[in-house]
Chains A and B, each alone.
Chain A
Amino acid sequence: MAVRQGGRGGGWRSAVVATTALAVMAVASAAAADVVSVIQARQTHFKEIGKAAKAMAEQLKSPTPSVAVVQSSVKQIDALAPQLPSWFPVGSGPMSGVKTQAEAEIWTKPDAFKRDAAAFADAAHKLDVAAAGGDLAAIRTQAQAMGQTCKTCHEAFRQRDD
């Protein structure tokens, strides 16, 4: 209706508006696509850690644990853990509008977040050293210590499952 009232000029103007809107949307969706891929990559990394932790925990619970499986699983966790802070670039939080269980506090309290992440990396490395030693009692103790660093950080910075 507005177009008809404006005649030819109105049509030209609305074409400009439409083109601009399309361009803005394209840029925005490119940024959104970027955030989506960042979040997807982050989730993949965490699932790798979860998978390795599960494989390790199953061996530690088993009556006949395989130290080799524990060692290889722990090695994966130790390799991934130090990278963790880099999986949370600014703009990849809940404000992005993309579905994520990352809490905004990761970016509003970056020091606390980095401290928790460092505690995890440290515990994962100690677990790797313990696993290399092959003493199951020492591995179990350190696995529990590492599990506690997962919990601490998740309680503060990860939205609970619903």
Chain B
Amino acid sequence: MTDESSSSSAAAERLGRGRLVRVWDAPTRWVHILIIVLIGLAWWTESHDQMDWHIRIGCALLGVVLFRLAWGVFGAATSRFSSFVRGPRTVLGYAVKLVKGGAAEGGVGHNPMGGWSVVALLGVMAAEIGVGLFCVDVDGLESGPLADRVSFQAGRAAAHWHTVLFNALLALIALHLCAIVFYAVVRRDNLIGPMLTGRKRLSATPDDPGALKPGSPILFWMTAAGAAGVAVWAAYGFKV
């Protein structure tokens, strides 16, 4: 497969269409899709008073986010935190280049600003889900899987923070979407396609990113099974 794609991208390069390179591995793309779908469902069920389903969806999201955090350590090169969490100088330098409209081609993986966007989104999601486990509704009748460990009042405070964090998450998602539109319109860089197909066409650049270094398959199955186990355990109230 590697031979085939490299020969076809070499052909594409000769035609002046740039090389087609793999930028996102399948687990990262599926996590992204699952997060979009599950957040939509969590929102819908909450606003339609389907709290049983809202809680189950929250538990599923817990598993997905846990998996993504682990995949940030064991995953493909572009999914690892170590590859995209950059220092303030790099971020600032990139921001300056972006504002000045520098011609730097969007490379492979998260750019220095996008990397922090991922960290913020995952961090707020983790906090939102973590707090959600302890939430109690105003009537004391609906509650998250860990709410029986805390008082009614603490559960109500958790519910307050669950709302605050959700608004923070919505703000981050809005920023995320604005950035996608900005890159598409101003920089002529389509970010959505590669996130769906995993491949991106690079215009001829001198530095070859090389083949995407994949994550360990054994660690994939182990973390996926572990995360799924935690999700199911959460849905059953973390009963031992």
- Does A121 interact with chain B (Cβ within 8 Å)? no
Q: Does A130 contact B (CB under 8 A)?
A: no
Q: How far is the CB of B198 from chain A (nearest CB, A)?
A: 41
**In the docked arrangement, what's the CA distance between A161 and B136, Å?**
12
List of B residues within 8 angstroms of A47 by Cβ:
152-153
A50:B139 contact, CB within 8 angstroms: yes
Chain A residue nearest to B138 (CB atoms) is A154
* B102 at the binding interface (Cβ < 8 Å): no
- Look across to chain B and name the residue whose beta carbon is closest to the beta carbon of A61: B237
Minimum Cβ distance to chain B for residue A112 (Å) = 19
The contact string, 1 if C-beta is below 8 Å from chain A, for chain B 149-167, is 0011101100110010000
How many residues of chain B get a CB closer than 8 Å to chain A's CBs?
20
1/0 contact string of A46-78 vs chain B (CB within 8 Å)? 010111111011100101000000000000000
Give the distance to chain A from B234, nearest Cβ to Cβ, in Å. Answer: 14
Chain A residues within an 8 Å CB radius of B163 = 161-162
Q: Are B140 and A50 in contact (CB under 8 A)?
A: yes
- Contact partners of A50 in chain B: CB under 8 A: 136, 138-140, 152, 156
**Interface size grouping (class) on chain A:** 20 to 34
Q: List the A side residues contacting B159 at CB < 8 Å.
A: 161
Bound form: Cα–Cα A162–B167 in Å: 10
Is A11 an interface position by the 8 A CB rule?
no
Which residues of the other chain, A, contact B156 by a CB distance below 8 angstroms? 50
CB closest chain-A residue, reference B160 = A161
The residue of chain B having its C-beta at the shortest distance from the C-beta of A63 within the complex is B239
A137-161 CB contact bits vs B (8 Å, 1 = yes)? 0000001000100110010001001
Q: Are A57 and B141 in contact (CB under 8 A)?
A: yes
A-B contacts at CB below 8 angstroms, number: 50
Complex Cα distance A154/B142, Å?
A: 14
- Determine the distance from Cα of A49 to Cα of B138 in the docked complex, in whole angstroms: 10
Does B143 interact with chain A (Cβ within 8 Å)? yes
Residues from chain B with a CB closer than 8 A to the CB of A161 are 138, 159-160, 163
**Is A51 a contact of B139 with CB atoms below 8 Å?**
no
**Are A49 and B239 in contact (CB-based, < 8 A)?**
no
In the bound complex, residues from chain A placing their C-beta under 8 Å from that of B140 are 49-54, 56-57
- B153 closest partner in A (C-beta): A47
B residues near A56, Cβ cutoff 8 Å: 140
Q: B139 to chain A: which residues have CB within 8 Å?
A: 50, 53, 147, 150-151, 154
Interface string of B39-50 (1 = CB under 8 A from A): 000000000010
User: Other CB < 8 Å A-B pairs besides A58-B147, A158-B138, 9 of them?
Assistant: A52-B140, A53-B141, A54-B140, A54-B152, A57-B143, A58-B143, A150-B139, A154-B139, A161-B163
Q: Can you spell out 30 A-B residue pairs with CB atoms less than 8 angstroms apart?
A: A49-B140, A50-B136, A50-B138, A50-B140, A50-B152, A50-B156, A51-B151, A51-B152, A51-B153, A52-B140, A53-B139, A53-B140, A53-B141, A54-B143, A54-B152, A54-B155, A57-B141, A57-B143, A58-B143, A63-B239, A143-B141, A150-B138, A150-B141, A151-B49, A151-B139, A154-B138, A154-B139, A161-B138, A161-B159, A161-B160
Q: Which 9 residue pairs spanning A and B have beta carbons closest together?
A: A53-B140, A54-B140, A50-B140, A150-B139, A51-B152, A147-B141, A58-B148, A54-B152, A50-B152
